[in-house]
Amino acid sequence: DQQVKQNSPSLSVQEGRISILNCDYTNSMFDYFLWYKKYPAEGPTFLISISSIKDKNEDGRFTVFLNKSAKHLSLHIVPSQPGDSAVYFCAASAGNAGNMLTFGGGTRLMVKP
Amino acid sequence: ETGVTQTPRHLVMGMTNKKSLKCEQHLGHNAMYWYKQSAKKPLELMFVYSLEERVENNSVPSRFSPECPNSSHLFLHLHTLQPEDSALYLCASSQGTRGVETQYFGPGTRLLVL
């Protein structure tokens, strides 16, 4: 059973609008969450992360929100740009195994000009 | 070369072949990882090495055999694979393994087993 789920396999957004990518998890031991972005023929690259002691972390156009009670996190991209078109993975880890990441299945984001 | 490199980028092999995937990191990191990404499945952690010692073997079949001769190089030796082993194999590295550290990924080797 998948402990980290991204229920939307794809998302299409107009340039300049907000992109919201969602991720749900089941393991209550997870206390650190990351988002990775992947372009075709490249490996995933780290985008942004959040610790469970926070409910929001912002880095430029990217903001990650964490709702621990709902076991849900989301990535907001504002404004979306065509170069943001990629597959986005969320990942989670538990404190006692911090480097053992559990990944979601990914959401393909397409930003239309 | 910078970052994490993987060779070959593409590999086709028969079920009786023996092949090896190579990963090299140029970041001065002490931990390296092998992941597998099958079609329509999440990335799955296979192996973790810290300071050249294996610290995690995530229930991976013995037909996959990792080797870490030094902190910069990681190999995945393949033998008698099955068609269902066809996948993208990704290598990653991080500074350490004690806490949550950003993992830097290579571009992957796309493997097809016939």
pLDDT of residue A96: 64
Closest residue to A43, CB basis, from B4, B42, B100 = B4
Question: How close is the nearest chain A Cα to the Cα of B105, in Å?
Answer: 5
Tens of pLDDT along B85-111?
A: 999 999 999 987 666 778 999 999 999
pLDDT of A108 higher than 70: yes
pLDDT of A27 higher than 60: yes
> Residue A82 phi/psi, 5° resolution?
-55, -35
Cβ neighbours of A41 in B, within 8 Å = 107
Q: A99 pLDDT band (50/70/90 cuts)?
A: confident
Does the distance separating the beta carbons of A43 and B106 come in below 8 Å? yes
- A66 and A73 Cβ atoms separated by less than 8 Å: yes
Cβ neighbours of B100 in A, within 8 Å = 32, 34, 49, 93, 98-99
Does the distance separating the beta carbons of A89 and B42 come in below 8 Å? yes
Question: How close is the nearest chain A Cα to the Cα of B28, in Å?
Answer: 17
Q: What percent of chain A has pLDDT over 90?
A: 87
Q: Cis peptide before A79, with omega less than 30 degrees from 0?
A: yes
- A13 and A111 Cβ atoms separated by less than 8 Å: yes
Q: B40 pLDDT band (50/70/90 cuts)?
A: confident
Question: How close is the nearest chain B Cα to the Cα of A42, in Å?
Answer: 4
Tens of pLDDT along A55-88?
A: 999 999 999 999 999 999 999 999 999 999 999 9
DSSP state of B111: E
**Stronger pLDDT, A98 or A106, i.e. the higher one:** A106
pLDDT of residue B39: 84
* Residue type at B88 in one-letter notation: L
- The rounded mean pLDDT for chain A is 94
